[in-house]
Each structure stands twice: as C-alpha cells, then as structure tokens.
Amino acid sequence: MRKQFTLSFLLITGLLLASASGWAHHGQGLSFATDHMWTTWATVEQFHYINPHPAIEFSRVDKNGKVEHWSAECGNNPSRMARDGWTKTRSLALLKPGTKVKLYVGTSLAGGFNGIVNRIENEKGEAIVETGEVRNAVDMEGVPSGYQPTAEDKAKAAKASSIDIYDKDQK
C-alpha cells in the first residue's frame, strides 16, 4: 500500500513538475496567438514525425460545411516524444490520415490557417500528444477560420519586433 502511495505521489508530482516549465520556446508567444488557445474537432491529413518538432496537417469543417485545411507544428522534438512513450510507430498508428481528433490550437499571429497544436486528443478524450499550455482554451467548433488574431494581437508581435531594448535597458 505504502509503495503504491509513493509511486502515485511520485507520478503525480513528476507530471506537475514537468508542466511547470515556462521557458520560451522559439519565441512562441510572438509567433502564435497562444493567449487565445481554441479547440476544434478535426481530421488528420498527415502527421509528420520530424525534427526539430513534429507537424500536423489537418482539416476541419465549419458550420457552413466549408472545409479548411490547416498546418501546424507540435512542441516537443521526436527524441523527447519517443522517450515519453510516443514512438514514431505509435504516433503514426494513432494519427493515421482520416483519424478524427480534437485539437488545441494557437493560430499563427500572421493569421490564416497556420498555427501550433499543443494537445491532440482522441475521440475518448485521451491525450495523444501534449506539448504545451492548453488552459483556458475556448471551444470554437464550427466557427469559420477558428480564432483569427485581432489587430491588437498582431500589434503585440509588431511592437515586440520594434523595441529598442539596448539604449535604455542595457546593464
């Protein structure tokens, strides 16, 4: 019993600690509208198990019946995914073209049908791939184009690109 308790505790603690990292990943916050994560059901067109990060091409249907074709990156690199149990064999088997999945998406700040996918769930609600923050994701099932960045979102990236940090801040 004690061993079971210890194991459960270590597992839960490990998962919590693993999720605590908040370090920037490739300037992610400036590339994608990660402040406005959203969810949608989608159909896998292709899952690419590639370096430095896997990528997924998927389609979704809006409430008017129009099909949108999206492409997105997923956060972790293949070696880390494999060591977490998501080998190429397993990932590709579970994400075959035609598979229905629920995706947690951050749209590219440039707009359009590019983005980052931080979580992929199967129809049972189980996480197949989870690589980033998904809290506060908003259900946008059927909403045409999902979440598209506002002028304010785009201004955030533009402003950050133009900040002269050196003259006033250099230590």
- Residue 144 backbone phi and psi in degrees, to 5: -55, 130
Sign, CA torsion 68/71/76/79? positive
Q: Give how far Cα 139 sits from Cα of 45, 102, 105, 118, Å.
A: 21, 10, 10, 14
Q: Which is nearer to another protein, 35 or 123 (CB)?
A: 35
Which stretches of the chain are DSSP H helices? 2-18, 28-31, 78-83, 88-94, 151-162, 166-169
Q: Looking at residue 58, what DSSP letter applies?
A: E
Among 43, 62, 68, 71, binds another protein (CB under 8 A): 71
Residue span binding another protein (CB under 8 A) among the ranges 58-66, 81-89, 123-131, 137-145: 81-89
User: Measured from the CB of residue 66, what is the shortest distance to another protein in angstroms?
Assistant: 22
Task: Answer whether 166's CB lies under 8 Å from 36's CB.
Answer: no
Task: Tell me which stretch binds another protein (CB under 8 A): 61-69, 126-134, 136-144, 153-161.
Answer: 153-161
Least Å distance, CB 135 to another protein, is: 13
Binding of residue 151 to another protein (CB under 8 A) = no
Binding site for another protein (CB under 8 A): 1, 5, 8-9, 12-14, 16-18, 20-24, 26-32, 48, 50-53, 55, 71-73, 77-80, 82-84, 87, 89, 108-110, 114, 154, 156-161, 163, 165-166, 169-171
